[in-house]
């Protein structure tokens, strides 16, 4: 593992296109972002959440192997060079459970057999560096993120580095975005969504759009953005002036502006 505290910028070549739709492609029905057909990005795995559920009377077996198989299937299908995890790899805070200590090292060993692995720490990832295998193709980044081929990648709980904010497009996670849809009979369903957020700048930086990734682990739950009194973008709104938010279901359905 390489803990990247010196250079946080990975530069792209001249073949990287300017059109956002050519560069960012959510995979249908899966909360994974395909970045310029070379890289997959996902977030909020919350491995070890089963322990917290057990303490609250909900007993289910470990889901780590199920989540790993889903990721490996995508890797087999698309052969990405890099796999990027945008934080909250583990679930339990401030401690690390026995399950996390056992499963997380093997999880990343397996993925690093296929692709280079980049990990941004989230607010649940205290002491994550102790669980990451010592391999040359695994890179661990501070929660304030890093610049990757012109994209600013960060988890969303901590103020991003300036070089991250200097990217035109930001990609974050953290808030587990969802939407509540209600039919004519009054029956509601809460579904995960992608968010595209145009940015009205409050400061001098290049970022003008933010993409928010839904949680990969379907046990996590999330925030129904369209019914909340507060949008709960947290400190993000101290950086960006957010006036409207466009939502997409995992199947690609464009729900339009929900805020």
How confident is the model at residue 141, as a pLDDT? 97
Mean pLDDT by groups of 10 residues along the chain of 259 residues = 56 40 76 92 95 85 95 96 97 91 97 98 94 97 95 94 94 93 87 89 80 94 76 66 84 87
The residues, ordered by sequence, that sit 6+ positions from 67 with a Cβ below 8 Å of its Cβ are 45, 47, 216, 217
Q: Where are the domains of the chain?
A: 22-257
How confident is the model at residue 3, as a pLDDT? 64
The DSSP code for 24 is E
How confident is the model at residue 87, as a pLDDT? 95
Closest Cα to residue 66, out of 182, 257, 219? 219
Closest Cα to residue 153, out of 107, 198, 119? 119
Closest Cα to residue 51, out of 103, 116, 12, 5? 103
How confident is the model at residue 22, as a pLDDT? 53
How confident is the model at residue 7, as a pLDDT? 42
H or E, element range at 76: helix 64-78
- Choosing among 3.90.25, 3.60.21, 1.10.10, 3.30.40, the CATH entry for 22-257 is 3.60.21
- Tell me the whole-structure pTM to 2 decimals: 0.88
Distance CA 102, CA 235 (A): 34
């Amino acid at each position: 593992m390489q803990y990247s505290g010196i250079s946080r910028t990975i530069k792209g070549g001249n073949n990287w296109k300017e059109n956002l739709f050519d560069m960012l492609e959510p995979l249908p029905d899966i909360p994974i972002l395909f970045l310029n057909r070379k890289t997959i990005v996902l977030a909020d795995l919350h491995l070890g959440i089963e322990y917290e559920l057990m303490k609250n009377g909900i007993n289910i077996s470990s889901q780590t192997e199920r989540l790993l198989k889903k990721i490996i299937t995508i890797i087999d299908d698309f052969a990405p060079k890099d796999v990027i995890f945008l934080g909250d790899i583990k679930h339990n805070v401030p401690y690390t459970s026995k399950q996390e200590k056992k499963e997380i090292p093997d999880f990343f060993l397996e993925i690093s057999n296929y692709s280079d692995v980049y990990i941004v720490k989230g607010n649940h990832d205290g002491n994550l560096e102790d669980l990451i295998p010592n391999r040359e193709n695994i890179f661990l980044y501070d929660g304030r993120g890093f610049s990757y081929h012109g994209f600013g990648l960060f988890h969303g709980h901590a103020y991003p580095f300036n070089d991250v904010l200097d990217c035109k497009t930001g990609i974050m996670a953290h808030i587990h975005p969802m939407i509540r849809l209600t039919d004519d009979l009054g029956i509601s369903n809460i579904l995960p969504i992608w968010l595209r957020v145009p940015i009205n700048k409050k400061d001098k930086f290049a970022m003008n759009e933010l993409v928010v990734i839904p949680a990969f682990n379907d046990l996590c739950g999330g925030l129904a953005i369209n019914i909340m009194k507060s949008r709960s973008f947290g400190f993000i709104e101290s950086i960006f002036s957010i006036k409207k938010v466009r939502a997409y279901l995992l199947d690609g359905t464009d729900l339009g502006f929900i805020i």
